[in-house]
Structures are given as structure tokens and as C-alpha cells.
Structure 1
Amino acid sequence: MLHAAPGTCPNCFADIAGNFCHQCSQETTLHPPSTREFLHEFIGHYVALEGKLWKSLWLLLLKPGRLTLEYIQGRRVRYVQPLRLYLTFSLIFFALFKLSGVQILNFDEEVAPGQVAIGQAATPAKPGAPLRIKSDGEDITGRVGTAVDTLHHGWGERVNKFLSQPKEDVYRQMNKTFFSYGPYALFALMPFFALLLKLLYLGTGRRFGAHLLFALHANAFAFAMLSLQIAVPPGWGWTHFILLVWMVIYLPLAMRKVYGGGKLVTLLRWLVLMLLHMLCIVLAILMTLGSAFLA
């Protein structure tokens, strides 16, 4: 049993003096942990109740841009790492979103002119021809859009095969695809978000890594706010309104804190950033749902 500090580190075999190894940071005085010590270590490492988590949350949620500046200026050990913050809040959001029972697609709406109804059976369609689909025993004809008209015949067969399933199966597959690949698709947008910041702040001398850091913190905040929106009871309308307003004004405040610049210029940059980023999100979601046709 190791109760006294040895002369060399049991982990990396470096010569040591003191309570911690200067090379690998492991404690030098070791003993089998008690139940209390084991729980303390588990909570401190995974839940981070002792300082790091609360300091990080305080700055992330209530001090726009401050956490990013702290990291850039070298004060990093005292806070949770940016990537871990982003992954944590994104997983919480998607878990709450799934448990909330929100429908990704609604198949109960009436079919508007020019739209395709998803029903129980479909007849194969040739490129450029109307797509005829049966719904509740009644034929509904929808014109396939220009983009679908240009698809390869094999892709068209996959689409028709997918749409020929009962609508419950179609919804189930779309829902499964969204929650399986949606988090990865949104995470893949982080470099694009950082690239947009890089273009909007050309000439500031900031490296791409600094923009990526800001992107992780900004999107971690967005996921945290959206999670709170889901978790707050529906009757608390004023709380939803406050969260929505704070989510809207947070990003321009954070941009001005980290990058500087005038209020009007920052507002214009924020509008461009939001427009392009929302477009990227819509395309990512459409691509994610479209992958269900290949399943």
C-alpha cells in the first residue's frame, strides 16, 4: 500500500519531490480511495461542481464574450474547455428536444397545390412527370419540382420507394435520421461559423482558432438558451420572452466585447452572420433529413 511519497513517480517514473509529479501531475502520495473520496473525485471530474463549471456558466450565460476573452488571454485552467461546453449543451438540447415530443415533420396537414402528399403507396414516376401518390385510398397528384426532375433515375426510385411506405414509417425514419445525424451536422457547421467571422473581421489580425473558439462559446450559449426554453413550463410566458430577448441581443454584445468596433458596424456584421448561419443550418437540416432516403 502506497501511503508515503516514493522517490520516483509510479506513473511516469520521473524523480519527484512534493505532493505532485512535476512531469505528469499525478499525486505522489497514493492510497486506495475511500467511498467519500471516490465520490468526490467522480463528481469533481465529471460534473465539475467545484468551481470550473459554475465559473464557466456564469461567464458564458451572463457575461457575453467574457469567457472567450479569458481563454484568449491565457486564463484557461479555471474554466471548462470550450469544446466540452459545446458538446455538453448540444447533447442536453437534443435530449430535451427529443423528450419534448416535438414533431420534426407534420403529415396531417392538407396538401397545398404544387406540394407532394406523403401517403401509403406511390407509383413510380419518370423524371419530368407528375408524381402520383395514394393517400387514404384517394389519388393525389403533385408536380415534382425542378430539382427533383433533374435527379438520376436511381435516386428517383429510392425517393419513390421511401415515399411508398406508410406515413407512420416515413415519419419514424425521418425522426430517427434527424436525431441520429442532426448533432453531427450542426457540429460540422462550427468551422463555417468561424470562417464567416474570419471574413467579417478581415484585417483584425485574429487567427482562425480564435474565431473557432468564439463559435464554440456562442453556439454553446445558444444550445443552453434553447434547452431552457424547452425546460421552462409553457405557462411561464414571461420567462420564455426574457430568454428569447437575451438570446437575440447576446451575440452582438459578445462580438463587440471580443472583437471591438462600433455599435452600428457590429450590428451590421451580426445581421450578415445570422443570415448566412441560418441558411447553413437550414441546408444542414435538409441534407440530414434527405439522408433518410438513402437508408
Structure 2
Amino acid sequence: MPNSNTSCKNCENQFDETFQFCPYCGQKSNDKLTVGVLFSNTIKNYFSVDARFFRSFFPLLLKPGYLASKFIEGKRLLYLHPAQLYLFSSIVFFFFFSFKVSKQEQQIREGVKSEKTLQQTIDSINTLNSNDSLVAATVIDKLKKNKDKTGLNDEELAKLDSIIKGENYKGDDFMSFGFNESKVDSLIAINAPDSLITKEMGRKENAGYFTKKTYTQVLKLYRDNGSLANILHSFYDTIPIALFFLLPIFAFILKILFYNKGPFAYHLVFAFYYFSYLFSTFIILLLISFIWPNFPGSIQWLVILSTFIYLCIAVKKFYDHGWLLSFIKSSLATFIYFTIVIPIAVLLLLTFAFLFY
């Protein structure tokens, strides 16, 4: 008796109803949706990815060049795809790194606020004559009692004490803008147009767009005590995007140094795995710093130095070179990347962050 056919609910192709799975798309033929099936499929998919991640993570850390070599050989389902591993590690890294950035931004905001308070107090005391020393001393005493509210630390209060002794101390500005701040403050106080204020700051009448934009941003920075932290935040936000362009540049450097070792895609695979290793290492360092705030800096530098040793070993195994040649080419790639490419990239990112924060 011939078997009857059934229709796949996913691809709608006909197949023998005795089949447990559709031969065209692989979906289970009688997969009724229940809560158990829903969570079972979810857990299976999760642990499938998770297993591939752990099969990739430990060789990534402990076997330099291993994953890249296996991927080139064609074993591409046992381990996470290099781009997938890079994306995962970079997302986790920048997630933890954001906590460090937030803390740094807060310190900058407090530093600028404290410096502003200090400079304003110094200016007001400097206007007093010698007969007003008692008044000035009273001001200092109140500031000391309320230093938690003012944000002034002991060192800054000591600077104010020096003024009472007759020194006309001007202080070390947190940021020096290079223009007459008193005149600019007066124009800001009367809500003068930005064009007039920037002209007082030194902008020429026939300045181009870039110059005008720069003066506008400097004025914005001068007005807002938190702008410096905003610039830093904008700078950090652009780093993940920039790395998508910087990583191929590193691969291109490798292509130049190992021009006869396969197409550009081979070097890109190596770069993906190496950058994944770097992110994984920095994630571990960040986690340790959260748990152990006094983690010795010397050990951190040793770990960072080990990333270069890792690169040398990975290059030797992946490109099948001798130790000396691997060391020389790894050094060249590192030197070119960190002394030319990275500084240029940082400069461009800082410029972008300043102009568009």
C-alpha cells in the first residue's frame, strides 16, 4: 500500500508522511508548539552556541594560531566563526569598559567643577586689599568646613591659604583657553551672540567653516563644565566603529609582510582571532580590577606584554615561519600598527569627538 504524502508547514513541499523530518528544510514534521517544545528548542539552541563558544574560547587563549589554522583548513563548524567570536568578545569588552568610562567621566566632571570653584574663590580673594585679610580668612574657614559641598580638596584649600599670607596666587587652570576669559564671561553674561563671542576669542572675520566650527566648539566647551567629559564619552563611543576599519588595516599589514601566504581573507581570519584574543585578555583584566581594585600595575603590564609573545607564537604556527623571522615580522607589524596607524586613528577620533560631541 503506497505511503501518503504530507505538506511541510515551513517550506510547503510534499514528502512522505512517515518521515519525521522534512527532507527539504529539516523541520520536524509533527512539531506541535507547546511550552515544553518552546523552551526545549531555546535551550538546545543556546547550549549549541555555548558549546561552540567554549570549544573556541580555551584554544583561543591557550593555543596561539590554532583556531585560524583550523578555519583555513576547512573546519568551520566546530568553532565559532572568527567574525562572530570577534563581535562577541568586543561587545562584552565594551560593556565592562563602559563602567570604567563612566567613572572616569565623573572624575573629570568633578575635577572641572572643583577647579572652577577654586579659581572663582581665588579671583574674589585677590580683589580684597590687605585690610581684608580677616574677611578672607573667614571665607577660607567656611570653605574648609564645607569642602564636601564645594568639591575642594586639601591641596586646593592649601593654595587658598597661601593667598591669605600675601601671595597673589593665580592657580593652575584645569584648562587654559588662551583668550581673555573676563571679556568672554561678560559677553556670555549679557547673552551676546556666539559670533560676537567667538570673535572676541580670536576668530577672524573671514575664517573658513572648519575654523568657525572649532571656535564654536571651544566656546561650548568653555560654557559647559561637563563638555570635556562629553567629548571623552563621544570618543569612546566611536572606538568600536573605528575598530571595524582598523582590524582590516592590521590584516593588510600582515598581507604585506606575508605576501606569499595566501589571499587577503587568510590574513583577515588571523586578525579576527588575534583581536578576539586581545579583547578576551582585556576582559579578564577588567574583571580582576573590579574584584581587586589594587591589582598590581606591574602584573597588568606583564599580561599586556604577553599579548606580543602570543602574536609571535601565533605567527610562527599560522604562517609556518621560524622563530627569528616570526619575531621580526611580528615586531614590524606591531610597530607599524601602534606607532603609525593607532596614533593617526586616535587623532582622527578625537577631532571627530570634539567637533561633533
Q: Same fold (TM over 0.5)?
A: yes
More divergent stretch after superposition (218-227 vs 41-50)? 41-50
More divergent stretch after superposition (163-172 vs 179-188)? 163-172
Aligned-partner Cα distance in 1 for 2:28–2:14:
13
Q: What is the deviation of 1:8?
A: 3.9
Asked if 1:275 is matched to 2:338, the reply is no
Aligned-partner Cα distance in 2 for 1:43–1:240:
37
Asked if 1:255 is matched to 2:315, the reply is yes
**How many residues end up aligned between the 2 structures?**
260
1:70 matched residue in structure 2: 70
Cα gap change, 1:26/1:253 in structure 2, threshold over 3 Å: closer, same or farther? farther
Q: What is the deviation of 1:16?
A: 4.7
1:132 matched residue in structure 2: 179
Q: What is the deviation of 1:242?
A: 5.9
Aligned-partner Cα distance in 2 for 1:157–1:44:
58
Q: What is the deviation of 1:264?
A: 0.7
Asked if 1:155 is matched to 2:210, the reply is yes
Q: CA RMSD in A?
A: 3.3
Which AA in structure 2 matches 1:32?
Answer: L
More divergent stretch after superposition (231-240 vs 186-195)? 231-240
1:256/1:266 contact within 8 Å kept: yes
Structure 1 residues 130-160: Cα deviation after superposition (integer angstroms, max 9, x where no partner): x53749x99xxxxxxxxxxxxx732122122
Higher RCO (CA < 8 A, seq sep 6+): 2
Aligned positions of 1:42-57 closer than 5 A:
42-46=42-46, 48=48, 50-57=50-57
SS of alignment partner, residue 179 of structure 2: strand
Which AA in structure 1 matches 2:341?
Answer: C
Q: Percent identity?
A: 25
Aligned positions of 1:144-183 closer than 5 A:
153-164=208-219, 165=221, 166=223, 168-183=225-240
2:232/2:353 contact within 8 Å kept: no
2:108/2:229 contact within 8 Å kept: no
Aligned positions of 1:212-223 closer than 5 A:
212-223=268-279
Aligned-partner Cα distance in 2 for 1:268–1:22:
54
Asked if 1:186 is matched to 2:233, the reply is no
Aligned-partner Cα distance in 2 for 1:269–1:289:
30
Aligned positions of 1:29-40 closer than 5 A:
29-35=30-36, 37-40=37-40
1:60/1:66 contact within 8 Å kept: yes
Aligned-partner Cα distance in 1 for 2:237–2:323:
40
Cα gap change, 1:21/1:50 in structure 2, threshold over 3 Å: closer, same or farther? farther
Cα gap change, 1:106/1:246 in structure 2, threshold over 3 Å: closer, same or farther? same
Which AA in structure 1 matches 2:60?
Answer: L
Which AA in structure 2 matches 1:262?
Answer: G
Aligned-partner Cα distance in 2 for 1:208–1:199:
9
2:13/2:24 contact within 8 Å kept: yes
Asked if 1:208 is matched to 2:208, the reply is no
2:354 matched residue in structure 1: 293
2:11 matched residue in structure 1: 12
1:90/1:220 contact within 8 Å kept: yes
Cα gap change, 1:48/1:229 in structure 2, threshold over 3 Å: closer, same or farther? farther
Structure 1 residues 209-250: Cα deviation after superposition (integer angstroms, max 9, x where no partner): 111111111001101111111110234438646633432311
Aligned-partner Cα distance in 2 for 1:202–1:244:
28
Aligned-partner Cα distance in 2 for 1:290–1:45:
44
Which AA in structure 1 matches 2:83?
Answer: L
Higher helix share: 2
Q: What is the deviation of 1:7?
A: 3.5
Aligned-partner Cα distance in 1 for 2:26–2:323:
45
Cα gap change, 1:19/1:63 in structure 2, threshold over 3 Å: closer, same or farther? farther
Aligned-partner Cα distance in 2 for 1:197–1:235:
37
Which AA in structure 1 matches 2:27?
Answer: Q
2:64/2:317 contact within 8 Å kept: yes
Question: For structure 1, which runs of at least 5 residues remain unmatched after alignment?
Answer: 1-5, 111-115, 123-130, 139-151
More divergent stretch after superposition (280-289 vs 50-59)? 280-289
Aligned-partner Cα distance in 2 for 1:280–1:16:
58
Question: For structure 2, which runs of at least 5 residues remain unmatched after alignment?
Answer: 116-172, 186-206
Q: What is the deviation of 1:258?
A: 0.8
Q: What is the deviation of 1:262?
A: 0.8
Structure 1 residues 37-92: Cα deviation after superposition (integer angstroms, max 9, x where no partner): 53454355457564211101111111111111111111111211211111111111
Cα gap change, 1:174/1:39 in structure 2, threshold over 3 Å: closer, same or farther? farther
